[in-house]
Amino acid sequence: MTWTLPKGTPNAGETTEQTAEREVTEETGLTVEIVRPLDSIDYTFVQGRTRIHKTVHYYLMTPTGGDLASHDHEFDEVRWIGFDEASSLLTFETERALVAHAGTALAGGSFPGAEPLVLETPEA
């Protein structure tokens, strides 16, 4: 099973922030509000015979409503977990490092008003 952070492709005319909020809502069932941007992660993958470069922009968010039971059918399970569990659950090192950095900044008071939790979704 693969555990990863929510992400997706922008719709025409969307900002990266709008895309992030929409994708989190679709994939998790929660409505969220962006607290502040986090780092971006760049990677490449091959689809068919084409090498694709992708940049994923991440944001620290806080939930404002919704229900995890309403998550997208694309995923088998969605969880809300603490920063400490993310280091052992997330599949990709780049995402583990991103969440660790956010957790450290949050503990240091760099993200006032945000909850010390991260949203996780497994890919089917």
The 8-class DSSP code of residue 73 comes to: T
111: left (phi over 0), alpha (psi -120 to 50) or beta: beta
- C-alpha–C-alpha distance, residues 118 and 81, integer Å: 6
The residue segments making up the domain with residue 10 are 2-123
Which CATH number covers residue 114? 3.90.79.10
What pLDDT sits at residue 95? 92
Count of structural domains, the chain: 1
Token pair 């929409």 is found at 22
pLDDT tens per residue, range 87-120:
899 999 999 999 998 888 777 665 545 444 444 4
Residues making up the chain, counted from first to last? 124
Token pair 């099973």 is found at 1
What pLDDT sits at residue 116? 41
- With a cut of 70, which residues of the chain have pLDDT below it? 108-124
Residues 20 and 59: beta-carbon distance below 8 Å: yes
